[in-house]
Amino acid sequence: MPLSDISARIQAEEARVGRAPGSTRLIAVSKVQPIERVIAVLEEGHRLFGENKVQEAAGKWPELRERFPDVELHLIGPLQTNKARQAMQLFDAIETVDRPKLARTIARLKDELCTCPKLFVQINTGEEDQKAGVMPAEADAFIAECRALGLEVEGLMCIPPVEEEPSLHFALLKKIAERNGVPELSMGMSGDFEKAVAQGATYVRVGSAIFGERDYG
């Protein structure tokens, strides 16, 4: 589906629920996609992208940024502490801060590098064992811990369980953000981004609906 159609659907949903036009930003999730498709979307003028692996992003974005310097890149996949330095140098936002050890590493590197990407805390709203993220009951304490380390928590991020109604998870994420004074919400993917807009997403992360199915073969 053309990017403009996705943007139009976001705008229509913003209007339907009475949100300000443009208050939801579209992250084009380019992981695993052929580079020509990514370049086509860049040539359409889109600049906000998401990748879920540091290594994969490091292999394509430094070169693409030379051609498109105003790109904004978000890390939306799990981050190992031993890749934190590279991630902080490559990404404009890390959406997957999810444990004290990682927060402490980022805080130390922030002092050393004198710069820090925007940070989002990932919340495991479905309390799934296999999924990353802070448990909802531990979210307030973890956000406070990040702040005590001198980190600014700019947003929360979640990936709802596939089998469940995503709106309930989006509403929970918003509630946690509100009570902690966190401004940004990254939620909603190809199958449910309109529901996320209705629940107040400020970022939606859409991959296959823009680029087509990912070919992992």
Ligand X SMILES: *Cc1c(COP(=O)(O)O)cnc(C)c1O
Binding site for ligand X (CB under 6 A): 29, 31, 52, 76-77, 159, 189-190, 205-209
Say whether 204 sits in a helix, a strand or coil.
strand
**Nearest CB to ligand X, comparing residues 114 and 162:** 162
Tell me the closest approach of the beta carbon of residue 77 to ligand X, in angstroms: 6
Which residue's CB comes closest to ligand X?
207
Nearest residue to 26 via CA among 210, 213, 215, 212: 210
**Nearest CB to ligand X, comparing residues 7 and 149:** 7
Which residues, 6+ apart, have CB-to-CB distance to 107 below 8 Å?
149, 150, 151
Tell me the closest approach of the beta carbon of residue 211 to ligand X, in angstroms: 8
Tell me the closest approach of the beta carbon of residue 200 to ligand X, in angstroms: 17
Q: What is the C-alpha separation between 156 and 96, in angstroms, rounded? A: 9
- 49 is written with which tokens? 């992208």
**Nearest CB to ligand X, comparing residues 110 and 197:** 197
**Nearest CB to ligand X, comparing residues 29 and 139:** 29
Tell me the closest approach of the beta carbon of residue 95 to ligand X, in angstroms: 8
Say whether 131 sits in a helix, a strand or coil.
coil
What residues pair up with 203 in beta bridges, in sequence order? 25, 186
Task: Confirm if 50 and 30 have CB atoms less than 8 A apart.
Answer: yes
Distances (CA, A) of 153 to 142, 143, 185: 10, 7, 11
Tell me the closest approach of the beta carbon of residue 108 to ligand X, in angstroms: 26
**Nearest CB to ligand X, comparing residues 76 and 146:** 76
